[in-house]
Every structure is written in C-alpha cells, then in structure tokens.
Chains A and B, each alone.
Chain A
Amino acid sequence: MTPTVAALVEATLALATVDSGSAADVVASAAPLLVEFPFQRNYITSIVRVSLYVSLTAVALATLASVPVALLVGFVDFPGKRLVVAVINTGMGFPSVVVGLLVLVLVSNQGPLGPLDLVFTKEAMIMSQFVLAWPVITGVSLAAVTSVEDGVRDAARAMGGTRVDVALVTVKEARYGIVTGVLAGVGRAISEVGSVFIVGGNIASADGTSITRTLTTAIQLEARQGRFETAMVLGAILLVLVLGVNAIVLRLGDQRGGR
C-alpha cells in the first residue's frame, strides 16, 4: 500500500470513529493528501441532504402536476391550448433568478403567501424549484404522450377502457419519455443556483449544518471565500449526482431504442 493510500484509509477510519468536531483535525494531519478537508463532516452531509430533499420533493410535486397537464394538452382541445403550450416551452428556458425573484415576492411579508412565513425556508426553495422543474417535465412528457400511437389508445378504448383507462395506457406507453422528463427535471433543479439563493438565503446554523444551503449555493460561497478545496469537493459531489441522473437518462434511452 502506498503511503498516500494508507493515509487516506487511516483518515477514513478516523472519520468513522471520532466526533465531527475533531474529524477535520484528523484529516488535516493525514498528509500527504491531494485535497485538504477544512470543514466538519456534518457540513457536507447536511448540504447534500438539503439539496436532495429540496430538489426531489420539488420534482415529485412537479411530476404529479405535469403528467395530467401533458395528457390534457396532448389529447383535449380547449380554448387557449396554444398559449399553454407556449407557456410550457417558455418555462423550459425561464431564467432561474427571475423565478426566485417571483417566488420571493410571493412569500415575502407583503406577498399573498406572506402569512405563511416562508421566506428563507426549504419550502420556499421547493416552490421555486417546482416552478423551474415543472415546464421541463411537462414539455418532455407532452412530447412523450403525443408520440404514443393513436392505434394503441384506440385499442384500449375498443376493449372497453374508460377515459381514465386510456389515459393510464398512454402514460404506461410513454413511461420512458416521462421518466426522462422527470430526470431532466431533477437535473434542472439540483444544479440550479439563482432562485434557491434568493428564496433560501444560503443559511447554515452556528454548528455548521445546513438549513437552506444547497450544493450549488455552498459552492458559490466557498469559492468566494477562497476555500477552493471545499468548493471542489462539493462540486465533485454535485457532478456525480448530475452524471448519475444523466446516466440513467441515457440508459433509459438505450432501452427504449432497443425495444
């Protein structure tokens, strides 16, 4: 075992056994390391936890709201349908800082949701990420459900399916496309910085755990304060998460193409 690897193993074992306060000292003493860890272990894990909680909750809610809208826009004619499609398409490229600003106005003391006291909370961040993820998931889902052949829906109807049954068949047939949309929404939400910074405030508690600090806002803060090692570690975690999501999307695409 090389000295560097041995030092890393030693540091890892030490991290697992000592409290978080002394972890940084143990790691710092385990030289020579490529990256120093000038932070407490809870800091990183709490940031990842907040990021995942906010993004996944926002995407789950956005998915629930997206699929029915995609089915409605895809298969029902109604006045203003073109406008809805235009809103969805525009929303896919909506600047996140503007979304953050709008949500902040909404939840601020003077806004309609002011009494709920949501400023600088995870709930406000979920709202802003919902607004960002919804058009992405709806747009991709709309393309997926409208690509389901009419014949398949006719078959469901011919066998006695109700409107709900036909809609369920359509969703099932379009499932790969819808999941791709959901994963694209996850990618959009988790890598977004502007709106969560505005509505969340990038807050960490005195003991160093994140309250509304996400991976993206933390990277921005650490880089600005010159703690590049920390920023790099956070960036690597974010990159792994986004790459993981994209790998799933590609895998689904392969499966769909191979069918």
Chain B
Amino acid sequence: MSQSRETERESEAATEVPHDRHRAGEPVVSLDGVARRYGEEAVFEDVSIDARPGETLAIIGPSGAGKSTLLRMFGLFEPPDEGRVRVDDIDVWTVGERERLAARRRVGTVFQEANLFDASVQRNVAYGLHVRRRWPERLRESLRRFVRTDPPEAVRDALSTVGLADAATRDADSLSGGEAQRVAFARALAYDPDVLLLDEPTSDLDPRNTAVLENAVETARDSGMAVVMATHDMHQAERVADRVAVLLDGGLVEVGPAERLFENPDDPRTRKFVDGDLVY
C-alpha cells in the first residue's frame, strides 16, 4: 500500500468514532487575567482567554513566550501567580483537591513527547478510564484481564481515531515515534474529555503522522470538545484552528478568528510574527 493510501485509510478511520455529546456553548475552561513570573521577571501577565466547546484554539508565539505554561494552566497543572482559572463557574484554585481533581478529569492533555508508560498500548490508552474507577472495580478489571484480552470499546474507538486500531496488544516500546504520539493522543481521547490540550503535538512528527493527528484534532473538535493547541507552526495553526491567540512580549497581543488573523491582523506585531519578520 502506498503511503498516501495508508494515510487516507487512517484518515477515514479517524471519522469512525461515534460521539454523543451534549454541551452548552459556554466556555469550559477560562483563564482570567492570569500571570506567571519567575522571580521578578514576568513570562506573561494579564492573559484572559477561554476554551470553548466545538472549537479549536491555537496559541502561537515564539519559543519561550510561555505557550506551554499557559497550557499547563488550562490543564490545572499549576496555579497562576495572579488571576483565576475557572472550569465552568468554579474557581479551581480556591476549591479543595477533590473538586479540582474532578475538574482536571474533564481535561485531556497531549504533550510534546508521548510519555507512554512501559506497558501495552491498550494499558496506556485505558489508563484514564482505569483511574476513574473505584478500587474494587479496578481490582475486578485487573482480574478480568487475565481471561479477557480484548480492549474496552472506548479504547478501540480512541485507537481507531488515530488509525492504530490493530496496535492494542503491542508493547509501547515497540512503537515508532509517530505511532507513540498517536497513542498518546488516543490516550487523551479515550475518557472523552470536555477539553483537549495539545502542546506542540506534531513538532517531532513526519508529514504522514502529522496529517493523521490533525485529522484526529478535527474529529475531536467536531465531536464537541474544546481543543487548545500550543504551536509554533503557523501553517498548522492556519490549517486546524478556528481561533488563534498570539502570545508575544509577555502577553496576548491578539486573539481572533484564524482566517482573519492570518490574512489581516489588527496588531502590527502579529503581522510581523506571522510573516516571519519578527526575530527573537
């Protein structure tokens, strides 16, 4: 099979996942005037932006602008030095650990590196489902694995989305870099999060694997997920994003629809950055 045919097959597989999602149009995660400082130096300040269901938001900016840090705030990994992070109407850094965990479980994250566990693909993808079970149920599931090896439906669906339906029983160590990243993507999809965060997910991938993941992003967005992607690849942002936020000079200089922002940005710094004239 030629490479393009294979990509096409995998892309077709990406559209097979059924979703039955009912969400309000309100933002799921909102950052409200957040800031991050290292000592006296501010990485960014007064950043307000939200993740909306059924929309892909791309955060673009040069290296060191704080894109990954902003994404970590979306993922409730770390609190801001200033400002608030809200999931629905809950200010997550003012509530208890239990409530914050419940909020975090509505978010899926794909990192720049796959960070797979030393286990089978199936175990990796099922992990999010596994930790959501109560302990007796986990134990029963672990015992069941001795007699039944077929993956749960959610795992099969997630793997189909990234074109790796046949890889469930493979060892994570046997995967190529591209396959590993696709499994990492499936792992974030398997528990059907409301928000999907992607931190430069294709920066180390070849065009074929990049195409598969971009199709999967589209599928996730179409299913109603709020997708937030940090990328320095402006072509990719143009291809997949509905809305783009430009993080420059310690803050958001512009947020707007992708088409408008790339063709006719309001801020001259955005124009320079998009045209590649802004050197850092």
Contact = CB atoms under 8 A, between A and B. Distances in A.
Nearest to B171: A259
B173 A151 contact: no
A158 B75 contact: yes
B137 to A, nearest CB: 14
Given A151-B111, A155-B111, A161 B117 contact: no
Interface string B111-132: 1010111110000000110011
A200 B72 CA distance: 57
Interface in B169-193: 173, 184, 187-188, 191
Contacts of A81: none
B75 A259 contact: no
B131 A160 contact: yes
B118 A172 contact: yes
A169 B101 contact: no
B117 A152 contact: yes
Interface string B85-120: 000000000000000010011011101010111110
Contacts of A154: 77, 111, 115
Contacts of B187: 155, 159
A8 to B, nearest CB: 44
A240 B77 CA distance: 50
Given A158-B77, A159-B188, A160-B191, A165 B131 contact: yes
Q: Which label, helix, strand, loop or mixed, suits the secondary structure of the A interface?
A: helix
A147 interface: no
Contacts of A160: 101, 104-105, 128, 131-132, 191
A159 B131 contact: yes
Nearest to B127: A159
A158 B191 CA distance: 12
Contact of B107 (A151, A156, A158): A158
Q: How large is the interface on A (under 10, 10 to 19, 20 to 34, 35 or more residues)?
A: 10 to 19
Contacts of A152: 115-117
Interface string A139-157: 0000000000101101111
Given A154-B77, A155-B111, A259-B173, A162 B118 contact: no
A169 B115 CA distance: 12
Interface string A58-94: 0000000000000000000000000000000000000
Nearest to A175: B118
Contacts of A158: 75, 77, 104, 107-109, 111, 188
Contacts of B108: 158-159
Q: Which of B75, B127, B187, B191 has the most CB of A within 10 A?
A: B127
A162 B127 CA distance: 12
Contacts of B131: 156, 159-162, 165
B233 to A, nearest CB: 21
B132 A149 contact: no
Interface in A171-188: 172-173
Nearest to A160: B105
12 contacts: A152-B116, A154-B115, A155-B109, A155-B116, A156-B127, A157-B104, A158-B75, A158-B109, A160-B105, A160-B131, A161-B127, A165-B131
Given A152-B115, A160-B128, 10 more contacts: A154-B111, A155-B109, A155-B187, A156-B131, A158-B111, A159-B108, A160-B191, A162-B101, A172-B118, A259-B118
